[in-house]
Amino acid sequence: MIFQKIFKFGKWHANAPFYCRPYKKKVVDIINDLKPVTIIEIGCGLGEIISRVNARNKYGIDIDANAIKFGALLARNVTFINGSFDAIYKIPEKHIDVLVLINWTHGLEPAFIKKEIYNLLKNKKIVHLVIDEILQQNKTYKYHHKFSKILKRRFHEVKSFDDPEKIRNVKVLKCHVDI
């Protein structure tokens, strides 16, 4: 919390550290099992997930510029970029082994997320998408996306797990080979 006050990043980044959120460790383990070379995490915050992934090219993107500044001090093995989906176009790699969208999509309309991901596919090859779906019983969240349905024209589910805190279900979706 001291660093949150100094760097002035959103309080939610300090309120949910890696070791207090079991789903974050599970996400890291699943991503590492995929053996990515290039990974991008949109909504990376302080970089708690992406900094723990074994990959040669790691990019963390977040709209909170102050979180990005502090994250860059904590995780020097990650290239941090301020922005959202648009920032991916600044990344030179065309092949993305894993694109991570965890713990923030529940605030955006499903059509917007679908449009952004499909636009990315026009310029980048995304192999896996790691994304969370908020469980229906959690009424405090605006949207309860079903990404395996929303993105089914382009992706199919290969793995999932329920968050031990009973908040979310994390999905690993793989892009169809024919695209």
Mind listing the pLDDT tens digit for each residue in 98-115?
A: 999 998 888 889 899 999
Residue 127: both structure tokens together: 């192999």
Query: Is 46's pLDDT higher than 60?
Result: yes
Range of the domain at 141: 2-175
CATH number of the domain bearing residue 86: 3.40.50.150
Residue 42: both structure tokens together: 């949109």
The rounded distance, in Å, linking the Cα atoms of 33 and 118 is 25
Backbone angles phi, psi at 78, to 5 degrees: -125, 140
What percent of the chain clears pLDDT 90, i.e. is strictly above it?
55
Residue 135: both structure tokens together: 């469980």
The tally of domains found in the chain comes to 1
The rounded distance, in Å, linking the Cα atoms of 170 and 138 is 15
CB 124 within 8 A of CB 57: no
**DSSP at 136:** T
Q: At 132, which helix (H) or strand (E)? A: strand 125-134
Output 172 or 147, whichever has higher pLDDT: 172
Q: What pTM was computed for the model?
A: 0.89
The pLDDT value recorded for residue 143 is: 77
pLDDT, tens digit, 9 for 90 and up, residues 140-168: 778 788 888 889 889 999 999 988 888 88
170 CB-contact burial (10 Å; exposed 0-12 / middle 13-18 / buried 19+): buried
